[in-house]
Structure 1
């Protein structure tokens, strides 16, 4: 399980927010070395003998992690706005409202359905690949929001690479300023050792991220090389097919040109035959001359009009 989600969680004091799941604390526990808190369920997901605080990177032994019952009691009066509807109330009554009104929920990003609010919140925080999340280097300047399934592509962007480079430079600068390389043996207090170790672990995590990005680049390069070889094999075949198509088009154009010439000859022959037919209509075979009058109806109408006017 994870913490409790609410519409107004970002307006609450940060002490009420779990540093692991970024939700409202559920069954809060306190790390003695730094005083920061996590959900009990978020703590249980970490199997190391010492717990690293997500806020300050200090480590606390599991034996020094305490359930903060007093803080849990103080949280019961927190004002809460339901993340699913218009309900408002105190945190103490919020779980009951969720169970009664929102027992069956659907993820707005991937449409997966859940019959438990805790399962839904856990899916949203850690699992859903379609949900947009902050880059791991948000605190260092990479403030883009990316879908979980697009995170590897984001690591390859120029902006993220520049931020990563700046982070490494800052860490190296801090290490040089504290002269860790030259005076590491002189660090005597447990807190100093913990701070330096936390910095090294943070640097190690960034290097791992770079390693993953490089591996992705190598995979992409291999894929592009394979596609290039495939294209080199396919290109000659395509060129051959293109030549055949070009020849076929030229032959079709030649054939159509011949058809056009034949059509013109046929049109001329048809016009000649039409003239002969018209001439034959004026020929008499019994010695009587024929007088062909065009537009007979029109001329008869004119004659009739003239005749009527004379009357």
Structure 2
């Protein structure tokens, strides 16, 4: 179960909006360390020992979280515009209106139908694969909005990897601060802190591994970029050399064609001279006609 959806939730005071599900608070609880609130149901989604506030990042032990009954009573008079029809009223009457007027719900993103508003809201917030959502690291520079089903592909993008490089050192610093203050938590509750310590150590190891992996990927990316640049330079050089070779071949072909043409002309001139010589052999310059008999010995 998540918060309460309505058409006018975006214009309500932000103190009535859950920072986890971005809906109107349902059974609000208050974090004692910072005073911010969220849905009790959103708190129970993950059974964490230490709760980090989504608004200010302040940490509160689960045992120090308070159910804010006074704030819940104050919210009953909150003005509400139904998210499914033109109905308007107050929060105290909203659930009754939903039960009476809206028994079937259809997701506008994937078309799946539901028989209760709670299941419908849960589907939209956590399950619908066609819903467009913000990246979890949007506060660290990854501002792209993605269809949920394509989130795994988004994790491999350069923008998301850069955001990880920003968030990992901050998380490691926060974990170090937690370990420095662990004695204080142990005085409050030994059992809870032992579990918290184990979780912190596991998270610390995972983040160290993740940071190492990200650094390796970054180094590989830089190396591949440099290699690609070098290959591009080499390709450009080879392309220029190839152009020069092609030009040289074209010039050689042109020269060769010229030589062949000149040779043909010379052959023609030579043939003409040969004919003239043959003709001259049959002419006498003293007025006597000379007959030339070829292969005389064979004809005798």
Q: TM-score, normalised by structure 2?
A: 0.57
Whole-angstrom CA distance in 2 between matches of 1:78 and 1:205: 43
Are 1:16 and 2:16 an aligned pair?
Answer: yes
The aligned length equals 201
Who is 1:51 aligned against?
A: 51
- Aligned residue in 1 for 2:148: 148
- In structure 2, how many angstroms separate the alpha carbons of the residues matched to 1:119 and 1:8? 20
SS of residue matched to 1:146? strand
Change (3 A) 1:7 1:211: farther
Partner of 1:86: 86
- Cα distance, 1:162 vs. partner? 2.7
- Equivalences for residues 199-278 of structure 1 within 5 A: none
In the other structure, the counterpart of 2:136 is 136
Distance 1:35 1:209, change over 3 A: farther
> What per-residue deviation string (whole Å, max 9, x for no partner) do you get for residues 30-86 of structure 1?
111221212121222222333333333333233212110110111112222221122
Equivalent-residue separation in structure 2 for 1:202 and 1:13 (angstroms)? 37
Q: Note closer, same or farther for the CA distance 1:139–1:206 as it changes in structure 2 (3 Å cut).
A: farther
- Give the structure-1-normalised TM-score: 0.55
Alpha-carbon spacing, 1:208–1:100, altered in 2? closer, same or farther (3 Å): farther
Query: Matched residue of 1:74: which SS?
Result: helix
CA–CA distance in 2 between the matches of 1:201 and 1:14? 32
Aligned with 2:25: secondary structure? coil
Tell me the equivalent position of 2:160. Answer: 160
Shift of 1:151: 0.4
Any gaps of 5 or more consecutive residues in structure 2?
Answer: 186-192, 194-198, 218-300
Contact 2:135 2:145 in 1 (8 A): yes
The alpha-carbon deviation at position 210 of structure 1 amounts to 9.6
Is contact 1:168–1:203 with CA below 8 Å preserved after alignment? Answer: no
Closer, same or farther: CA 125–187 of 1 in aligned 2, 3 Å: closer
The match for 1:122 is 122
Q: How does 1:86-105 map to 2 (within 5 A)?
A: 86-105=86-105
Deviation at 1:131, TM superposition (A): 0.7
Residue of structure 2 equivalent to 1:26: 26
Where 2:89 maps in the other structure, the secondary structure is strand
* Preserved CA contact (<8 Å) 2:168 2:211: no
Shift of 1:161: 2.4
| Structure 1: gaps spanning 5 or more residues | 216-311
Question: Per the alignment, do residues 188 and 160 of structure 1 end up closer, same or farther by CA in structure 2, a change over 3 Å counting?
Answer: same
Q: 1:130-183, CA deviations, whole angstroms, 9 ceiling, x for partnerless residues?
A: 1111100112222221111100111122222233334446x38x95xx9x69xx
In the alignment, what sits opposite 1:109? 109
Distance 1:206 1:19 in 2: 28
CA 162–87 in structure 1, closer or farther in 2 if over 3 Å, else same: same
1:140 and 1:5, CA in 2 relative to 1: closer, same or farther beyond 3 A?
same
Equivalent-residue separation in structure 1 for 2:75 and 2:205 (angstroms): 36
- Greater alpha carbon shift after TM alignment, 118-127 vs 201-210: 201-210
Shift in alpha-carbon separation, 1:185–1:77, aligned structure 2, 3 A = closer
Write the distance in 2 (CA, Å) between the matches of 1:209 and 1:86: 50
